[in-house]
Structure 1
């Protein structure tokens, strides 16, 4: 099997697993994630922090984003501007209206300021103990992290359900490691 096949197979199994979670499990995980953030604080605040608007069965990070806003952080959400392009980040505040984007995403209006984050809260399907992340396959976060890291120090915090931490994530030369993984039950800093 090739790297692409390995990633595709793992993606299918993780999507199926995540899709089987119930609403109560999801609510408890969102609360657990917020509790772990408060305990570990992987990002110094205030900072410019990009989150994401959860879609499908992703862990709901909206309570965490509200907490960061209350702590004085400038928030942003990612915007896909084109295939094989890095993400752009638009300023966002809780309760700001959002517009439909590609792949079922929601993002701030083009009228919102473009900002450069100090930290990214990154969605994932799986992560291993070395910080390798499996995303959805578009490479948007990998390209974005590579570009931002060439300019300044960036903290990339992957967030997911605890069972998304697995022994090994297949990865290649274009993949970027996370600095942290935060789940509803643990926080892992990667050196």
Structure 2
């Protein structure tokens, strides 16, 4: 199989697994994610941190975003600018209204300032023990991380359910590794 076929196959398996996860387990995982974050202290605060508004069956990181805001972090949410482009990040505070974006995303209004994060909380479908991440296939985070890392040091923290840590994620030369994985049961750094 080709790299794209390998990714497509793993993506299909992980989407099906996540869709079958009961709501009670989702809530428990969101609570576990926040508890693990509090225990591990992965972000030196205050910092500029981009999160994401969960879509579909993604783990709910909104409690974590509230925690970061309470610790004095400047938050941002990503905006998809178009196919083949990197993400733009707009400032966001809890309670700010959100607008509909592409792929079912929600993002801050265009009136909010664009900012560059120091820490990115990155959604994922799968991650392996070397920090390779599988996303939805658009390459938005890979392009964004490459551009940000070319200018300064940023920390990419993959965020998901613990079962999304798999033995191997197929990856190619355009893929960017994560620095950390944060789940409801663990936090692990990739060297």
If the TM-score is normalised by the length of the shorter chain, which range does it land in? Answer: over 0.9
- Deviating beyond 6 angstroms after TM superposition, the runs of 4 or more aligned structure 1 residues are none
Q: Give matches, 1:88-103, under 5 Å.
A: 88-103=88-103
Q: Partners in 2 of 1:190 and 1:41 — Cα distance?
A: 16
**Following the alignment from structure 1 to structure 2, what is the Cα–Cα distance between the partners of residues 43 and 176?**
20
Rounded to whole Å, the distance in 1 between the matches of 2:143 and 2:152 is 15
**What is the CA distance between 1:29 and its match in structure 2?**
0.2
Superposed counterparts of 1:99-178, under 5 Å: 99-178=99-178
What is the match of residue 35 of structure 2? Answer: 35
Between stretches 36-45 and 75-84, larger displacement belongs to 36-45
- Alpha-carbon offset, residue 75 of structure 1: 0.2
TM-score in terms of structure 1 length: 0.99
1:23 alignment partner in structure 2: 23
- Are positions 1:85 and 2:88 aligned together? no
**Aligned-pair CA distance for 1:186:** 0.4
Q: Take 2:180 and 2:43, find their aligned partners in 1: how far apart are those partners?
A: 10
Over residues 79-100 of structure 1, what are the superposed CA-to-partner deviations in whole Å (9 max), with x where a residue is unaligned?
0001100000000001110000
Offset at residue 48 of structure 1 (A):
0.3
Residue 26 of structure 1 deviates from its aligned partner by 0.4
Aligned residues: 191
Specify every segment of 5 or more residues in structure 1 that has no aligned partner in the other structure, as ranges. Answer: none
Q: Aligned partners of 2:53, 2:88: CA distance in 1, in Å?
A: 14
In structure 2, how many angstroms separate the alpha carbons of the residues matched to 1:95 and 1:26?
23
RMSD: 0.4
Question: Structure 2 CA distance, aligned partners of 1:94 and 1:21?
Answer: 27
* TM-fit CA distance, 1:41: 1.4
Alignment-derived partner of residue 56 in structure 2: 56
Question: Which deviations, in whole Å up to 9, do the C-alpha atoms of 1:23-49 show, x marking residues without a partner?
Answer: 110000000000110111111110000
How far apart are residue 153 of structure 1 and its match? 0.5
Distance in 2 of aligned mates of 1:41 and 1:20? 31
1:57-91 Cα deviation digits (max 9, x unpaired):
00000000000000000000000001100000000
TM-score (norm 2): 0.99
| Aligned mates of 1:135, 1:41 — CA distance in 2 | 25
Distance 2:118 2:190 in 1: 17
